[in-house]
Chains A and B, each alone.
Chain A
Amino acid sequence: MTPSASRAAEAAPTVACEHARRFTIYDTGTPLDPYPTLREIRSGCPVARSEQFGGYWIVTRYADARFVLQNPEIFSSTQNTIPPRKDISVGPPIPLNVDPPHHTDYRKLLEPLMSPKVARAMEPRIREEVRKLVAPIVTAGGTELVEGMAAKLPGLVFLPLLGLDVTELDELLSLHTRLLATTRVAPEDREAATRVREEAEAALHAKVGALLDARSAMPDPPEDIMTALAVADLENAPLGRPEALRTVKLLFAAALDTVKNTLSMAMYYLAQHPEQRAELVADERLIPVAVEEFIRFFSPAPTGRLVMRDVEVGGVTFAAGDMVLVPIVAANHDDARFAEPDRIDFHRRSNPHIGFGAGPHRCLGSHLARMELKVALEEIHRAMPEYHLASDVPPRVHGGAIVGIDRLDLVVGPAGAVAP
């Protein structure tokens, strides 16, 4: 046992601490309660120690999570996955795994390309894409929503922003699935998954490398992320081909599964709560607040940090070199910060959730993600105000880098209607 671990055991020798020792982000529960263990850990052992994957701290309270995320000089992002990432042919993702000051340069380049202004300008196109996805669902009288719609929307929004054509959606979704092959497997399956991922990386590198070269050669390149990465000069941080590739890979991973899973789980919830659904149908102005509430409630993306120097968090001392898991969903269900945190409330006035993280790594795509979720919920409920689950069997929840459900079979029409 490390010195840090023995101090944690002394601080709170409870059953919750004992359960925390075995906790990993793969131990999921049900879609509306993906991590029951985290609730137990937060109340009984809020700063806990897991002995899995070489050992790491788990920070479950809102205030502690915010402290970790807001202090990058103590908690580095250079290693932010548990278990640690073993890749990577071109190096870790940018700007996710970079600390200030280089991080600041990358953010300054990318933020204006994904700003609220950009999200607003994209709203009509997002609406058009959602309508095209929803119409056939209404005609067919139902759908499997996760792959049938939720996976496609973020791809359709993201591709042109990056500088790719929407006709490449199927190819890119397949590439994306293979790139993430190692994030959803148990450690013993990692070897086979790593081979799949490496082949996909090579394909992506070839594709993006060719695009970057083409943009560099254009006298008047289009205004998109690919061009920015091909031609920008940063003050302090390097931005050659390897850095551009590392950025594109991150955007791939971040843009797609987050929105897909949040939308899928929101629809799963709404399918089972017709009264709250009717509220959204009756008053669309509630939808932006509902979106924030779904992001708080589901918070599908946990994160991690590497401790750079000895520091005390919630009465427990972490040592330099320790890893910290910040399961954002635990912070966003902390009843010390949120009244009735386990209830989804479309009228919640105070909602300072950290579903998009906090501190300098606040989700770059948050403004786009919100716009996608808002427009999707608006258009879905205009076209099909009533729907219900095709089956009483809850969908399987997958844990890992992004929490979500694998399948959601919906039938259009009031409960009692049957699939055609």
Chain B
Amino acid sequence: MRLTVDYDLCTGHGRCYMLYPDLYDADDSGDAVVLLPIVPTDREQEALESVDCCPEGAIVVELDPPAAEPPHEAGGDAAVAAPAFAKPT
């Protein structure tokens, strides 16, 4: 399961990092930052609940990687995960 924040929608309510501090943190302006972009199996329930707490509908959960995606090479996961941390400027 992958967790991302849609920064076109996130306005920094902070509901996610207040209720689910293990999954999200705040950046300097108060927008959400995903801490676990690839959600461990034992956190999937929390991740799904967190989607439901966002007033903007800005949290996106992908249940499975897209089927069309080519298989990763060794170490490729980090490169795939990286954009989830980055907030466009």
Number of interface residues of B (CB under 8 A): 20
Find out whether the CB atom of A352 lies under 8 angstroms from the CB atom of B18: no
Would B55 and A112 count as touching, CB distance under 8 A?
no
Q: Please, which residue of chain A has its CB at the minimum distance from the CB of B30?
A: A115
**With an 8 A cutoff between CB atoms, is A78 at the interface?**
no
- CB closest chain-B residue, reference A111: B29
A339-359 toward B: CB 8 Å interface, digit per residue (1/0)? Answer: 000000000011111101011
Q: Does A177 contact B (CB under 8 A)?
A: no
Task: Return the chain B residue nearest A332 by Cβ.
Answer: B55
| Interface segment out of the listed B5-13, B36-44, B60-68, B71-79 | B5-13
Of the listed residues A112, A116, A289, A367, the one surrounded by the most CB atoms of chain B closer than 10 A to its CB is: A116
Instruction: Count how many pairs of residues, one from A and one from B, have CB atoms less than 8 Å apart in the complex.
Output: 61
CA distance A66 to B26 in the complex (A): 23
Which residues of the other chain, A, contact B11 by a CB distance below 8 angstroms?
Answer: 358-360, 362
Q: Considering only CB atoms, which chain A residue lies closest to B10 in the complex?
A: A362
The answer to whether A350 and B29 touch (CB under 8 A), given A111-B12, A358-B11, is no
Flag if B29 contacts A354 (CB, 8 Å): no
In the complex, residue of chain B having the shortest beta-carbon distance to the beta carbon of A358: B55
Q: How far is the CB of B50 from chain A (nearest CB, A)?
A: 10
Contact A366-B28, Cβ < 8 Å, known A351-B53, A352-B55: no
* Chain B residues within 8 Å of A350, by CB: 49, 52-53
Cβ contacts A363-388/B at 8 Å (1 or 0 each): 00011001000000000000000000
Number of interface residues of A (CB under 8 A): 26
B28 and A117 within 8 A (CB): yes
Cα(A117)–Cα(B49), bound, Å: 24
Seen from chain B, the residues whose Cβ lies within 8 Å of a Cβ on chain A are 9, 11-15, 17-19, 26, 28-30, 49, 52-57
Sample 11 A-B pairs with CB under 8 A, ordered by A number. Answer: A66-B56, A108-B29, A115-B28, A116-B14, A117-B28, A288-B18, A289-B19, A350-B53, A351-B53, A362-B11, A367-B30
What would 6 more interface pairs be, CB under 8 Å, given A289-B19, A366-B13? A108-B29, A292-B15, A349-B49, A349-B52, A358-B55, A362-B13
List residues of chain A with CB under 8 Å of any chain B CB: 66, 70, 108, 111-112, 114-117, 288-289, 292, 349-354, 356, 358-360, 362, 366-367, 370
